[in-house]
């Protein structure tokens, strides 16, 4: 059975391995070997990778005890009604089996409960159809730099319909950090 649950600190190492394998096996369809080498670099510091989860909302998907994916939402401090999806990866063995949709549903439910109005994402070429399927629209294509390589991706947004039970989000619910390609 597929479940989504909150991130635990001890997940971080497994999520780093999942991320690298997904980039190398799945995103390699759409990006060059040099881009993939930079994106899923062996130079990524595990401690820095783990620290980036702090203060963010992170859901982990599990199937039969195996981690199948994860998704991360970060509050935009300058615009309290906005949040941004940062890392969002499904394991290469679990592609097109509904894992991404389960994670997205968890993020959207949270956003509704928090009375967020808009969710943004910088979507990879690979992920664009998935985000479109979930109601996101392309605002612009853009080039971003990661570890010396440049990447085409898409700035996308989705409006959130509100639910009555939510409470306004405060700056302490999710905190801000630097946005990067991974």
Nearest Cα neighbor of 19 from 73, 119, 86 is 86
Counting residues that bind ligand COA (by CB under 6 A) gives 21
Minimum CB distance to ligand COA, residue 124 (Å): 4
d(CA 176, CA 182) in angstroms, rounded, equals 16
d(CA 90, CA 18) in angstroms, rounded, equals 8
Minimum CB distance to ligand COA, residue 90 (Å): 4
d(CA 47, CA 154) in angstroms, rounded, equals 28
d(CA 140, CA 157) in angstroms, rounded, equals 10
Binding mask 21-60 for ligand COA (x = CB under 6 A): -x---xx---------------------------------
Supply 50's token pair: 């783990």
* Residue with smaller CB distance to ligand COA, 59 or 89: 89
* Residue with smaller CB distance to ligand COA, 135 or 166: 135
Binding mask 84-113 for ligand COA (x = CB under 6 A): ----xxx----xxxxxxx------------
Closest CB to ligand COA: residue number: 100
73 and 85 Cβ atoms separated by less than 8 Å: yes
Supply 125's token pair: 């070429």
* Residue with smaller CB distance to ligand COA, 22 or 114: 22
* Residue with smaller CB distance to ligand COA, 3 or 26: 26
Q: What is the DSSP letter of 79?
A: S
d(CA 151, CA 130) in angstroms, rounded, equals 18
- Tell which one of 4, 35, 106, 124 touches ligand COA (CB under 6 A): 124
d(CA 52, CA 167) in angstroms, rounded, equals 25
* Residue with smaller CB distance to ligand COA, 12 or 123: 123
Q: Is residue 129 close enough to count as binding ligand COA by CB under 6 A?
A: yes
Q: Which parts of this chain interact with ligand COA (CB under 6 A)?
A: 22, 26-27, 88-90, 95-101, 121, 123-124, 126-127, 129-130, 133
């Amino acid at each position: 059975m597929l479940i989504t649950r909150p991130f635990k600190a001890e997940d971080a190492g497994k999520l780093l391995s999942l991320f690298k394998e997904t980039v190398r096996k799945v995103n390699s369809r759409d990006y060059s070997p040099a881009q993939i080498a930079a994106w899923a670099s062996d130079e990524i510091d595990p401690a820095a990778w783990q620290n980036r989860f702090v203060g963010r909302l992170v859901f982990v998907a599990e199937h039969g005890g195996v981690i199948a994916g994860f998704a991360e939402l970060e509050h935009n401090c300058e615009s309290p009604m906005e949040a941004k999806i940062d890392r969002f990866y499904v394991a290469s063995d679990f592609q097109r089996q509904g894992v991404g949709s389960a994670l997205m549903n968890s993020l959207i439910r949270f956003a509704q409960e928090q009375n967020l109005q808009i969710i943004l994402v910088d979507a990879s070429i690979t992920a664009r159809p998935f985000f479109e399927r979930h109601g996101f629209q392309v605002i612009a294509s853009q080039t971003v730099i990661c570890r010396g390589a440049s990447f085409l991706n898409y700035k996308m947004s989705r409006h959130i319909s509100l639910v009555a039970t939510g409470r306004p989000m405060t700056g302490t619910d999710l905190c801000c950090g630097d946005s990067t390609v991974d």
